[in-house]
Amino acid sequence: MSKKVYVGMSGGVDSSVTAALLRDQGYEVTGVFMKNWSQDLPGHHCTWEEDYQDAKRVATELNIPFKLYDFENQYRQKVVDYMVSEYKAGRTPNPDVMCNQEIKFKLFLETALSDGADLIATGHYSRIKDGKLLVGLDKNKDQSYFLYRVNESALKKSLMPIGELEKPEVRKIAHKLGLSTAAKKDSQGICFVGKVGIKEFLETELGSQKPGKIIDQHKEVIGMHEGAIFYTIGQRHGLNIGGGLPYYVTSKNMKKNEVYVTTDIDAKELWCDHLEVSDMFYINKTMEKDKKYMVRTRYRADLIDIKNFVVNHDNVTIYLKDEVRAITPGQSAVIYENDRVVGGGIVI
């Protein structure tokens, strides 16, 4: 008897092709749209209904059953509230990591299994083999960075078929099958707000922020910012400081509501040869001293060789072979052993 797979269908081309591939491989496929966010924001319309209709249309084209799971309340608690509290604390969180950990590979998985599924599937550009998470074959699209907090037991119940493909091939398959999402653009922006930027979103959640001083490397006040929560380490755009060399954010003081910047791209505050990571999570097993590991400190950043690491309970100090720029508190540091994701933690 064929296995029942519930495919998370977002209304995009990747999850549409995921459902098509699994159907053609002989699985009994059901499409599921997760309604995580429906709120309109000032000047921006939330596209959830259009995405839902696109996903439903593809399910009809593939002749598979289709369901809607409403996760909006849980999403608010697990992802949005976490994200807002991190920004308020002066950190720069990664909501996609939390969404995968708490919603897609926990809540969706549990709900689907209790609903009769044997497995779930998503349109992620990553691969799963024997409960291990591997990078996607398309290195430009690889999403393993966002999946490092998905546990082994969840991976064993999950499929990611397009991780074996490159993006142009996925589009080609969609066109060949005549799927209505074949030419649909990839969604941009935060995972749940579509085209809305983080500044607009935080202003909706928290209201306008108190302006404060922007202070340069010479301790001179060179401008005013619109709220320290909006700025992240290494940022150079959106500072609105006119003339001369570009400025880069080196740090900020939330209590004083001050943002510190420099024109010196080589400033020691911007570069680190080690980083502190908290809340470590390992997918399969912990790091071993005799193994060679690499770390990625933000999505699409280069992998940096790890020279050494020191474990202290849930925290790990990672010493890098090369200096890395703009290590940002709140972001994820994800550890790799060749193509396998070992795990990772939150930069402090």
Catalytically active residues are: 99, 191
Question: Which stretches of the chain are DSSP H helices?
Answer: 13-24, 48-62, 72-75, 81-88, 95-98, 108-114, 152-155, 167-176, 198-206
Task: Name the amino acid, one letter, at 267.
Answer: A
Q: Which two tokens stand for residue 199?
A: 């500044």
List of residues 6+ apart from 67 with CB closer than 8 A: 6, 30, 31, 32, 33, 115
Of 93, 43, 315, 49, nearest to 204 by C-alpha is 43
> Would you call 159 helix, strand, or coil by DSSP?
strand
| Spatial distance between the Cα atoms of 286 and 313, rounded to a whole number of angstroms | 12
Sign of CA dihedral 51, 56, 59, 64: positive
Beta strands in 258-339 (DSSP E): 258-262, 271-282, 294-296, 304-312, 315-325, 332-337
The number of residues in the chain equals 348
Instruction: Please count the other Cβ atoms lying within 10 Å of the Cβ belonging to residue 200.
Output: 16
Beta strands in 144-238 (DSSP E): 158-159, 212-215, 221-225
Q: Which residues pair with 179 in a beta bridge?
A: none
Q: Which two tokens stand for residue 270?
A: 């911007």
CA atoms in the 13 A half-sphere facing the CB of 197: 5
Of 93, 333, 103, 101, nearest to 198 by C-alpha is 93
List of residues 6+ apart from 329 with CB closer than 8 A: 90, 91, 92, 233, 347, 348
256 CA to centre of own chain: 30
